[in-house]
């Protein structure tokens, strides 16, 4: 059975950009709910002890009776586990991933513009992602709800949750302000690790 991953920081560690109450509710309520429903859907199946990433990469092999529940809730568990790790204040945009971003998008500012646009134009709930494609290129994509890049062969290295539960307590309907402030809490050290792992 999957368990809630331990946060490496306190709920207030990302203030003032992401408030403590949002972090507490997001982590202990929303993520826990995804986790519980994933465990329930996979209980008694051949998949229940496999890594969630492997399960999501093989959605087409799951029984139809649980596929949607696993896609939605397993995706939620996988994405949030990923999300907590790429949040940290005061890390520098540096490393191999910085060079790759500047090569692919010509500048950090252009990358920020395109990534923000993806986050702001995702209608309704979903995510914007920086992914590594199968041919090891960087690409910005957006996905609805908890649909996962890994089910279409793309490896996420950075992502922003634009479900309202990720920002509504602090920002209300001001998604643009939330997206702008997200750039102050990107853990570039972790993003660089993700990138190096993805291009192996």
pLDDT of res. 138: 98
> Low-confidence residues of the chain, pLDDT below 50?
none
- Beta bridge mates, 186: 87
pLDDT of res. 151: 95
pTM as predicted: 0.96
Do 68 and 129 lie in a common domain?
A: no
pLDDT of res. 40: 98
* Burial call 119-135: b when 16+ CB within 10 Å, e when fewer: beebeeebbbbbbbeee
Domain tally, the chain:
2
3-state secondary structure 51-78: CHHHHHHCHHHCCHHHHHHHHHHHHHHH
Domain that holds residue 79: 20-85
Do 100 and 35 lie in a common domain?
A: no
Do 81 and 147 lie in a common domain?
A: no
């Amino acid at each position: 059975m999957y368990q809630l991953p331990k946060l490496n920081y306190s709920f207030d560690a990302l203030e003032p950009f992401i408030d403590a109450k949002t972090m507490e509710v997001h982590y202990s309520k929303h993520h826990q709910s995804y986790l519980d429903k994933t465990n329930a859907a996979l209980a008694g199946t051949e998949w229940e002890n496999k890594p969630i990433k492997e399960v999501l990469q093989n959605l087409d092999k799951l029984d139809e009776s649980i596929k949607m529940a696993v896609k939605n809730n397993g995706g939620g568990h996988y994405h949030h586990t990923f999300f907590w790790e790429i949040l940290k204040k005061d890390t520098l945009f540096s490393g191999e991933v910085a060079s790759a971003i500047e090569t692919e998008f010509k500048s950090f500012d252009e990358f920020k513009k395109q990534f923000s646009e993806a986050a702001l134009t995702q209608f309704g709930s979903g995510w914007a992602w920086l992914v590594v494609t199968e041919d090891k290129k960087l690409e910005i994509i957006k996905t609805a709800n908890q649909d996962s890049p890994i089910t279409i062969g793309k490896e996420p290295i950075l992502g922003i949750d634009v479900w309202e539960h990720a920002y509504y307590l602090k920002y209300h309907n001001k998604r643009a302000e939330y997206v702008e402030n997200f750039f102050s809490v990107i853990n570039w050290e972790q993003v660089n690790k993700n990138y190096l792992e993805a291009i192996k």
